[in-house]
Every structure is written in C-alpha cells, then in structure tokens.
Amino acid sequence: MLKLYNTLTKKKEEFIPIDKKNNVVTLYTCGPTVYNYAHIGNMRAYIFMDTLRKVLKYNGYKLNHVLNVTDVGHLVSDADEGEDKMSKSAKEQHKSVYEIAKLYTDAFFNDIHKLNISDPEHIAKATDHIKDMENYVKKILENGYAYETSKGIYFDTSKLPSYGELSKVDIENQKAGARVDVDMEKKNPLDFALWIKAPKEHIMKWDSFLGLCYPGWHIECSAMSKKYLGEKFDIHTGGVDHIPIHHENEIAQSKGATGKNPANIWMHVEFLLINNGKMSKSLHNVYTLDDLEKKGIEPLAYRYFTYTSHYRNKLNFTWDGMESCRVSLDRLRELTLSHKNGSNDVDDAIVNEFRTRFLDAINDDLNMPVAISIVWELAKYDVKSNKIFNLIKEFDDILSLDLDREKENNRCEVLSDEVNQILEERKKAREKKDYALSDVLRDKLKEEGYIVKDTKDGQEIEKV
C-alpha cells in the first residue's frame, strides 16, 4: 500500500487515484522561474518530483504530469511586491527578457537531465497560456471572488472562509505582516493580485479585457493545471516555501473559479541548507550543479546525497558530506557490478524478501534513506548472483543513479582553478558579445591543453 504525507490533512494517507479504472495519476509540480541558473536546493525539489513519479510508476500507475515554467515576470517577493524578477535579470545581463527566459529554461532542462530526471508529460510555459489565465481570472470575477482596483484585479480573501487551510497557523502571522505595508485599495491585507495593469515601462504585457496587463504569479498554476488535468487532480507538489502564499492562493483561485480545492494531496519538499544556514548570494554559497562538476562531483552523486535524508526533513549540504556521497556512490556501483556475472544462485525467496522490504520503504512516503540502506545490504550480499544485479537495476529505475555504470566514467575530470577562471572570463566575454576576447581566451585554453566548443548549453571543453 502506497502512503503519502498530505500537507492539507497533516497525515500520511493511503494513495488512491481519482481515475482508479485506468490507473492514471494526475500530478502538477510548480516549476522554475527562469531568471537565473537553478541551484542545488532547487534541484532537491525536482529530484523529489522525479522520485515520486518513479515510485508511482513502480506501483503500476500511468502518469499525467504537468511541470510549469514561469517565464513571465513575477515579482521578487511572493506577495506582489518588489521588482519583476525577469526584467531585473534582463537589465543586469543586458539581454531581452525573452533571451533570459530561453537561456535559463535550456540550462534548467540540461541540469535536470544530468540528474536523470525524466521530463513530465506536459511542460507548460506560462507565456504560452496567457489566454487561459485571462479566462480563469474572468471566471473568478464572474463568481464574485475578485474586484478591480486601479492596479488590477485582486482576489477577495474575505469571500473564502476556508482561506489559509493549507498553512493554518501561519495565516495570522501573515496577516500581521501584510498589514505593515498595506495597499489601501485592497479590501483585506491578504488579498492578492490576479491580473495586473501593466505600467508603461513594464516589458512583458498582453492585451486583455482590462487593457495591457500581465498575470499575477499564482494564476498560471491554476489555469494550466485545470487545462491539462481538469478541475480536480491527484497530487500537487512544490517546496515548503510555497505552502503559506503560493499554494494557499492557488487553492483560493480554484475555489473561486470551480468551487474545488484542485488537488487531493499536497506534497512539499523541505529545504536544502548549506552549512546549516540559508543559501544566499551575499554568503557566496549558492551552488549549481556546474559548481559541483567543477569540483569533480558528478550530478548523480548529488542525487545520491539527497537520498540521505527524508524529503520532509531539512538536508544540510557540506562539501565533506558531498564528497563522502561521491565515494559511496562509486563503491555502490562497484559492488553492484560485482554481481553482474555472478553465477551463484540465490533463492527466489531471498530476492522477493529484498523486493518487499524495498517496496515497503519507498511506499512509506518515499523513505529513501531506508530504501538506500536496503540496496547497500543487497549489494554487499556475499553470494555473487546475476539475480541480485538485476534486482538492483530494477531498484535503480527509481533511484536513477546509474548503478550499473562502469568505473571509468564515474569521476568527472577536476579542472584546475586557472582553467576554470579562463572559462568564466570567456563566458562573460561571450555574454558581452566580445568575440575578439573570447577567441584570445580560446587560444589560452588550447595552451592549457583544452579545446572549447560553444553549444546551446554553453561552453564544453575536451582534452586536446
């Protein structure tokens, strides 16, 4: 029996899909805002998403899953305040907002593929769904859950007595916080923007029933989930930071438009910490997969690292911890391969017992630390048997760690600081379209023994 923890009920619940007849699970995951490179904390959220997908598949379900890409600007704060993230990034990098969106969307998918994360069935870009959002807002207005101000259309939270049902305790705190800097036109402090009248200088804007506007940031998820999954679907996932505002507002929007909470189960992944603190630019500790690779750590070792803690617990990243996971993954692969050509037979009862224990662990709300410990026990089994090899490969359909990979490819080459610095300078030169400098740096890399190629995913280097 598969049990999943539901933030809405604060309980682990037996999972039963809405479409039991066809065994299809409908899921929605809040995707990236593509204004910068995704960091390894973000990646924890998408590894969780992928592990959930694979656990569902292992249990025999078919999937209908939507991941959105927020490529329309939304504001720096979740609560309709601050600067537009996409425009800010475009200004800083002297690029158009559309170039920014393309650059970071491509980089995002490049990263998740390196982590063996499969693409969901639907990848929905916000900019491709502006009409759907507009119609959704109109429906909320028609139903009397929204009102117009000089700034745009706002959701009227006082019309929804259940507002705050997901985060419960946090809501009073939020009200207190929201009152500090209240927009006098809002009827209630927690009312939020659905559809915003674009000021002249605002770049991303669309013609609509209210003139040139752009969407509030919560509406895309409501409109796109309804479009692909219907008014009610099985599971909605995201990070814990989404609970108090973004998901609360998604629920409110859906109730305003359709009268329903859109998902039966709401699942949230806890944060990755760095040295027990927050990741932040000012502390220079916002790491990307690229940073890990430069230190010789392959992306899948990071995937392994995330399995050392349950997804509902905070996970603390340290370079020592990361390095020990890299070594562990190498060792686990070695042990797995030691069974590949093993001819000694292992009793089917033993194979089945391991399978049952593994299934119990993953079905206990994705208990990956326990699941990994069972794989270790199996890999260390003293009888070498091809049956064990095949069973580990079967488990690896979920773990996605390439456990049957031969050693030669395991470790990425560690580049010297000097080479990394030249690569960084060359990247900046190309961003500024300084191709003369870029060519000089290309020659410098050649002197260091590397050939550099410019691909759609950025620079790639090879030994001469």
Residue 241: contacted member of Zn ion, ligand AMP, none (CB under 5 to 8 Å, by partner type): ligand AMP
239 binds, among Zn ion, ligand AMP, none (CB under 5 to 8 A by kind): ligand AMP
User: CA 132 to CA 332: how far, in whole Å?
Assistant: 48
Residue with Cβ nearer ligand AMP (73 or 423): 73
- Give the total of residues touching Zn ion (CB under 5 A): 2
Question: Shortest approach of Zn ion to residue 250 CB, angstroms?
Answer: 6
- Report the candidate in 235, 315, 324 with the shortest Cα–Cα distance to residue 13: 235
Q: Is the CB of 58 or the CB of 271 nearer to ligand AMP?
A: 271
Contact region with ligand AMP (CB under 6 A), list: 20-28, 214-222, 223-231, 237-245:
237-245
Closest residue to ligand AMP, Cβ-based?
239
Q: Which stretch binds ligand AMP (CB under 6 A): 7-15, 25-33, 52-60, 359-367?
A: 25-33
Partner from ligand AMP, Zn ion, none binding residue 226, C-beta < 5-8 Å depending on class = none
In the list 30, 133, 315, 332, the residue contacting Zn ion (rule: CB under 5 A) is 30
Query: Shortest Cβ distance from residue 72 to ligand AMP (Å)?
Result: 13
CB of 147 to ligand AMP, least distance (A): 28
Q: Which two tokens stand for residue 356?
A: 């049952």
Report the relative pairing of strands 193-197 and 211-215 from DSSP bridges.
Answer: antiparallel
Q: Pick one of Zn ion, ligand AMP, none as the site partner of residue 253 (Cβ within 5 to 8 A by kind).
A: none
Whichever of 248 and 270 has its CB closer to Zn ion, that residue is: 248
Question: Which of 73, 239, 256, 262 touches ligand AMP by CB under 6 A?
Answer: 239
Is 98 a binding residue for ligand AMP by CB under 6 A? The answer is no
Of 106, 241, 360, 404, the one binding ligand AMP (CB under 6 A) is: 241
Q: In the bound complex, what is the minimum distance in angstroms from residue 447's beta carbon to ligand AMP?
A: 39
Q: Rounded to whole angstroms, how far apart are CA atoms 389 and 379?
A: 8
> Considering the rule CB under 5 A, would residue 221 count as an interface residue with Zn ion?
yes
Looking at the Cβ atoms of 43 and 190, the one nearer to ligand AMP is 43
Nearest approach, Cβ of residue 102 and ligand AMP (Å): 16
Which of 15, 44, 69, 74 is the binder for ligand AMP (CB under 6 A)?
Answer: 44
| Shortest CB 7 distance to ligand AMP, Å | 13
Comparing C-alpha atoms, which of 172, 177, 173, 178 is closest to residue 191? 178
What minimum distance in Å lies between the beta carbon of 155 and Zn ion? 15
Our CB check for ligand AMP shows the closer of 114 and 426 to be 114
Contacted by 221, from Zn ion, ligand AMP, none: CB < 5 to 8 Å by type: Zn ion
Tokens of 6: 């539901």
| Span interacting with ligand AMP, options 150-158, 233-241, 250-258, 376-384, rule CB under 6 A | 233-241
243 to 272: interface string for ligand AMP, x by CB under 6 A: --------------------------x-xx
Which of the residues 177 through 216 are near ligand AMP (CB under 6 A)? none
One of 114, 186, 197, 242 touching ligand AMP (CB under 6 A): 242
Q: Per CB under 5 A, does 223 bind Zn ion?
A: no
Which CB sits closer to ligand AMP, 86 or 441?
86
C-alpha closest to that of 236 among 364, 59, 68, 400: 68
Alpha-carbon torsion 242, 246, 252, 254, what sign?
negative
Instruction: Collect all residues with Cβ–Cβ distance below 8 Å to 92 and sequence separation of at least 6.
Output: none
First to last CA, the chain: 54
Interacting residues toward ligand AMP by CB under 6 A: 30, 32-33, 41-42, 44-45, 238-239, 241-242, 269, 271-272, 279
Interacting residues toward Zn ion by CB under 5 A: 30, 221
